[in-house]
Amino acid sequence: MTPVDLTGTKARAEQAAAAWNVVLGEPFTLSRYSYVAPADDDAVLKVPWEGDDESLHEGEALELWGGNGAVRLLRRSGDALLLERARPGEDISELPEEEATAVAVDVATRLWQPADAPFRWIGDHVPGWIENDPSELTPLARELYASLEIGREWLTHGDFHHHNILRHGDRFAAIDPKPYLGDREYDLFSFLRNPLDYRMVDDEGTERRIAAFVDAGLDEHKIRVWTAIHGAYLGLEPEEIALVRSWFD
């Protein structure tokens, strides 16, 4: 996804900051699709770009979680969110593999809670995503999706990976949700492909990650199915495509 023009978004953030009487710092370096900046010393102000559909209902998800597994929502006005700032804020990508996975399991199982409206059901969106971005995996994704009975009860994070799980005091908290209702297993694709320098072709590491979430109560087959479906429209490298196909041979 190409970074977007955040000029109008910045203006909305400044309006929210003035209304809440907080002082904005310089935006964070990686805030390419939302305007995200420190607000005073212990908060972060976030406003999505005008055309952002993925972050719809982020505020409602943070309200539901109430700081359990995610950063706490302090205030909101429309799509402008004032969030507690994770301190010291390092993500789990630098942790040893087993520790990072254990942290992720703990955080994820806190976030996966039963929910309903206003959150969207993933089943209303995935078919279009599969067809809009065809790839080598598309035929397999269509076949797997047709056989999948998708749940409706669980609230998922939607962008769950190492770089969105930050150390916050003596705990860890997720940031930047893209919430949907669906299977918990839907959330694992991004985690299996991160940190940024990790590839799923580290088959032993990938299998250990899958096993850790299976031990936490997830369905192994559904983890693999959702990984193949996501991979069809989000993209995988050739070696990863071969690995995913081998799961269904």
Q: What percent of the chain has pLDDT over 70?
A: 96
**Average pLDDT for 135-150:** 97
Contact predicate 135/239, CB 8 Å: no
18: left (phi over 0), alpha (psi -120 to 50) or beta: alpha
Cα(189)–Cα(235) distance, integer angstroms = 11
* Structure-derived torsion over alpha carbons of residues 233, 224, 191, 178, reported in degrees to the nearest 10: 50
Whole-number average pLDDT of the chain:
94
pLDDT above 70: residue 5: no
Q: Which residue blocks in 22-148 are alpha helix, DSSP H?
A: 58-65, 97-111, 126-132, 138-146
Q: Please compute, for residue 101, the number of CA atoms within 13 A of its CA located in the half-sphere on the CB side.
A: 18
> Residue 144 has what pLDDT?
98
Q: Check whether 34 has a pLDDT greater than 90.
A: no
Residues 12 and 18: their CA atoms lie apart, in Å, by 10
In the predicted structure, residue 33 carries a pLDDT above the cut 80: no
> CA–CA separation, 77 vs 31, rounded Å?
20
Average pLDDT of the segment spanning 150-165: 97
Statement: the pTM of the whole predicted model exceeds 0.85? yes
Half-sphere exposure of 221 (CA within 13 A, CB side): 7
Q: What is the mean pLDDT of residues 26-32?
A: 78
Contact 173/71 with Cβ under 8 angstroms?
yes
Query: For 34, what's the count of Cα atoms within 13 Å in the CB-facing half-sphere?
Result: 20
Q: Domains plus CATH for the chain?
A: 7-85 (3.30.200), 89-246 (3.90.1200.10)
What pLDDT does 50 receive?
75
Residue 78 pLDDT: 87
Q: Tell me the pLDDT band of 3, cut-offs 50, 70 and 90.
A: low
pLDDT of residue 116: 96
**H or E segment to which residue 9 belongs:** helix 7-20
Rounded to whole angstroms, the Cα distance separating 122 from 78 reads 23
Query: Over pLDDT 90: what percentage of the chain?
Result: 86
- CA–chain centroid gap for 47, Å, is 17
Query: Which residue has 């006005």 as its token pair?
Result: 77
Per-residue model confidence (pLDDT) at position 4: 59
Q: Which residues of 71-98 are buried (b: 16+ CB within 10 A; e: fewer)?
A: bbbbbbeebbbbbbbbeeeebbeebeee
Distance, CA of 46 to chain centre: 16
**154 has which bridge partners?**
114, 182
